[in-house]
Structure 1
Amino acid sequence: MNLDFRLFEMPLKHPFTISRYTVNVQKTIVARISDGEISGYGEATVNPYYHSTVEKLSASVQKVTPIVAALPEDLHPAAFWDVIAPRLQDDYFALCAIDIAYWDYFARKQRRTLRSFFTGTEQRPMTSYTIGIDDIETMKAKILEMPWPIYKIKLGRGNDMAIVETLRKITDSLFRVDANAAWTAAQAIGYSRILKDLNVEFIEQPLPAADTDGMKRVKEASVLPVIADESCQRLEDVAACKPLFHGINIKLMKCGGITPALKMIGEARSADLSIMAGCMTESSVGISALSQLAPLLDYLDADGALLLAGDIADGVTFREGKIRWAEGCGSGAEMHRF
């Protein structure tokens, strides 16, 4: 098998702002694993908060290229991950791209959908559509531009309740809010009461991950469920989240791909935690792979490709929040060019 990759720069429809930074062009790498006839694709984005850079991703993929070349083509993806993961402990984003590429290749080689290896149900939650932080009028315009049944509202700039109150006046859609660790415990508890009356379903990562004492107070006193994001990056974090949160948000790039995500899902179910999976502004390569996990989830945030001005692949699509998996094997993603 041959492992290679390409860098892409994907302009966004609108500047995407969270509490920490703004992105106008999303840089991403797509890894490809091929035997010359069948190819599988995986993706990892550049992300300053998680120290994911073009240089780091490129070096990581190149480091394990000869290892991948020496592996048997029928190796199960879980065994593949066990070989590659120890070499990429400092770069889980690159590990994710390679893991997904191999899952896609493995499923295509066996002429099966990727999801058929871990679920037999076609039931799937709807995806939310994210409204990044902006001035209120621009956030209103984004909602009016993209009517959707569920919106994820990014908050953390000081006028958060005014934002949600204003947006509620123009749509009856369900809201979820994501503070990206920008609040205090007192704010989160107080805001939860206001947000519940505004038809908000849950609050994602209200406090910094280090504030575990604060999160214990929030979980006890919040009238809305709280979901971990920054506090739950890898498998070992799931158990620690049980006393602090009602659920977790799994990001494939943070945990290292589909293989560890499946383990996190199993661990979360055992801990009676609700499960969400989210994205990081990937193209349809990453989103098509992420969406294969949908039958195992309670909530889904898979709108990354919808936020792009132009995609680099075809794959899963969404109509009014509902998933339409691409036809074909693997994840169903097909590159426009590589």
Structure 2
Amino acid sequence: MLQLTYRRYDLPFEYPFAIAKGTKTHQPTLVLSLGLGRLTGYGEATEIGYYNARLDEMIVLLEKNRSTIEHYALNGPERFWHFLHHLLPGQPFLIAALDMAGWDLWAQLNRRPLYAMIGLQWKNIPPTDYTIGINEPAEIRQRVAEKPYPVYKLKMGGGHDLQALEALRGATDARIRIDANEAWSLDEARLLLPELERLDVELIEQPLHRDDKEGMIALKQLTHIPLIADEACREEKDVPSCLELYDGINIKLAKCGGLTPALNMIRAAKQARKKVMLGGMCESNVGATVLAHLLPLADYADIDGPLLLKENAGRGLIYDGASISLPAGQTGTGIFM
């Protein structure tokens, strides 16, 4: 019989984190575990208002379904995901956390690292970017001085986007990625594109609203900069349309409901010869470590949640600047609490 436990955290950011959808100083998160004998698998769900992901609601659902979950006979993570998908409809963040824990536990039962359990080798690992939120130019220059990285992601949509980008490019010759979080109109994007190209932007993530398909068709014809879907690609059913409109997709376990659907989304993107970005929802070391096991499949990594937080839950993945590695000799995900 499985043993379900969970703990709620309110983790402070090192700096206030501002995006087009709001600013926050702390990240509420729920770390849960599934135990079986001496083994324990871990997962994590963050609270994200614009996705209607609320920890209070998740906790109520966990208690309501505790007995059903604990009496589930774990016979493979894919079957466990389908069980959760029917048990907790409309709760991808919570399903993802339980799915993470299920995969972790299953890999430990099979005495293999998670990445090996899904048929991967730990090689060709892309460096993660470091995200800088919406800030004044002077703050951006100071952030680069304090946090030197080879790849940055700059949040946009604050009304002074070009000045922010110029400040970042003036402070570093690193690769720069842009994330507008749906904040631009087509006209705004059209005006910015020549400057983004001049300042050597590597990619643009979710420039327009996720429903603006006509705008994306037009935008894609205006630039050679890769356009990556984020909010437009929430779950597996969104992939076909996104692969037509974008050059790649940002896959986040919380959005799509866990590793099980994420693997299907990655396969679809690879088959269409599109780019794969792996991103997070400001998860701590727990969620970030689980996601990191998919890095051999990624073209771009955006797994910087633990780098943005002043305090973290758990231990797992290891950062050496932008390089990510996993604990040696561990089975499962390698998470320790």
Tell me the TM-score range normalised by the shorter chain: over 0.9
Partner residue in 1 for 2:137: 136
1:300 to partner: Cα distance: 0.7
Partner residue in 1 for 2:334: 332
1:200 to partner: Cα distance: 0.9
The residue identity in structure 2 corresponding to 1:93 is F
Quick check: 1:119–1:296 contact (8 Å CA) kept in 2? no
1:85 to partner: Cα distance: 0.8
CA distance in structure 2 between the partners assigned to 1:222 and 1:61 by the alignment:
46
Quick check: 1:97–1:253 contact (8 Å CA) kept in 2? yes
Give secondary structure in 2 for the equivalent of 1:66.
helix
Quick check: 1:148–1:321 contact (8 Å CA) kept in 2? yes
1:118 to partner: Cα distance: 2.0
In the TM superposition, 1:271-282 aligns within 5 A as: 271-282=272-283
For residues 308-329 of structure 1, the C-alpha deviation after alignment (integer angstroms, 9 at most, x for no partner) is 1111211102212111112311
Partner residue in 2 for 1:14: 15
Partner residue in 2 for 1:84: 84
For residues 109-166 of structure 1, the C-alpha deviation after alignment (integer angstroms, 9 at most, x for no partner) is 2211011122332221111000011222112211111100000000101110111111
1:303 to partner: Cα distance: 0.4
1:15 to partner: Cα distance: 0.6
1:97 to partner: Cα distance: 0.5
Quick check: 1:33–1:39 contact (8 Å CA) kept in 2? yes
Q: Report the TM-score, using the length of structure 1 for normalisation.
A: 0.96
In the TM superposition, 1:207-286 aligns within 5 A as: 207-286=208-287
The residue identity in structure 2 corresponding to 1:85 is H
Quick check: 2:135–2:164 contact (8 Å CA) kept in 1? no
Q: Which moved more, 1:282-291 or 1:139-148?
A: 139-148
CA distance in structure 2 between the partners assigned to 1:126 and 1:288 by the alignment:
14
1:195 to partner: Cα distance: 1.1
1:68 to partner: Cα distance: 2.1
1:65 to partner: Cα distance: 2.2
Partner residue in 2 for 1:155: 156
Partner residue in 2 for 1:45: 46
1:63 to partner: Cα distance: 3.4
CA distance in structure 2 between the partners assigned to 1:56 and 1:252 by the alignment:
19
Structure 2 unaligned blocks of 5 or more:
none
Partner residue in 1 for 2:105: 105
Partner residue in 2 for 1:174: 175
Q: Report the TM-score, using the length of structure 2 for normalisation.
A: 0.96
CA distance in structure 2 between the partners assigned to 1:59 and 1:268 by the alignment:
35
RMSD of aligned alpha carbons = 1.2
Give secondary structure in 2 for the equivalent of 1:249.
strand
Give secondary structure in 2 for the equivalent of 1:126.
coil
Structure 1 unaligned blocks of 5 or more:
none
Partner residue in 1 for 2:24: 23
Partner residue in 2 for 1:188: 189
The residue identity in structure 2 corresponding to 1:220 is Q
CA distance in structure 2 between the partners assigned to 1:192 and 1:318 by the alignment:
33
For residues 75-111 of structure 1, the C-alpha deviation after alignment (integer angstroms, 9 at most, x for no partner) is 1100110111112222110001000011111111221
The residue identity in structure 1 corresponding to 2:116 is S
Give secondary structure in 2 for the equivalent of 1:334.
coil
CA distance in structure 2 between the partners assigned to 1:166 and 1:199 by the alignment:
13
1:222 to partner: Cα distance: 2.0
2:118 matched to 1:118? yes
Give secondary structure in 2 for the equivalent of 1:314.
coil
Give secondary structure in 2 for the equivalent of 1:221.
coil
Partner residue in 2 for 1:146: 147
The residue identity in structure 2 corresponding to 1:16 is F
1:11 to partner: Cα distance: 0.8
